[in-house]
Structure 1
């Protein structure tokens, strides 16, 4: 599976309306699957979309933040980073001196790039197993902005 992991989402444009549509698509997809998630779509400096299912606790907000920090820091999906760390026998703390209170290498955060502009945002999901958090983003956006 490691070779198939989406590292990033690349779009031709991104704005707050696109962020809203992405967030709503993932929430709708999760509801159809009877999955309870928390989701955030953030630009580099502020949150555009945030949803936390009523069945989840506030801890999920911290999971979203920590996974998103990994996607921002490494500019690739947190699941890809998790696999790279495992395959390289590395850790965020020992290899990169990153505090585990702020960084979590588990699936569920994917950076969003705009073609010819670089990383502009990221999308994060929490509430399921980490590989499922990653997969729900991919499955919900497949055909919409992920090919």
Structure 2
């Protein structure tokens, strides 16, 4: 239990750090392209989605994925938009509580998933404006893949003076 709580706190700190100055159509496209390239380099078979205000701006299903990955993406994105936190944090929280998202919050399991892989897109001064989601790996790996690319993009944005 203590380990789960520590991991939840780490994920919360991570979300506070992952803040863009600007996130628009071009940023969404670049984020998706980088996720795809990273997945190719690592030999991962994943589906990728990037949204801005629920508008899908990038979608990719790599060889080895199936339509079920698209369903997981949709459910994980719904979770982020409902709770304003990563789907991985919700997964860890549900494990901590020994519960599942549907019964606890009166939600339909077919619409929401407390499973890692969807990370909120936060913009300074605006809050959460979108999602970056991966499906195809273990939930902690889906989450870590997204976070690694977001960190890289935010570091470049900061270095380029966009903040």
Q: Scaled by the length of structure 2, what TM-score is found?
A: 0.84
Report the 3-state secondary structure (helix = DSSP H, G, I; strand = E; otherwise coil) of the residue aligned with 2:15.
coil
- Structure 1 residue corresponding to 2:15, chosen from 7, 32, 44: 7
Gaps of 5+ in 2: 1-6, 159-163
Alpha-carbon distance in structure 2 between the residues aligned to 1:139 and 1:124: 12
The answer to whether the 8 Å contact 1:26/1:141 transfers is no
* Structure 1 residue 138, shift from structure 2 partner: 1.4
Q: Which residue of 1 aligns with 2:64?
A: 55
Task: State which drifts further: 136-145 or 99-108.
Answer: 136-145
Gaps of 5+ in 1: none
- Where has structure 1 moved over 6 Å in runs of 4 or more? none
Q: Within the alignment, does 1:87 sit opposite 2:93 as a pair?
A: no
* Structure 1 residue 119, shift from structure 2 partner: 1.4
Q: Which residue of 1 aligns with 2:3?
A: none
Structure with the bigger percentage of helix: 2
- Structure 2 residue corresponding to 1:66, chosen from 72, 75, 79: 75
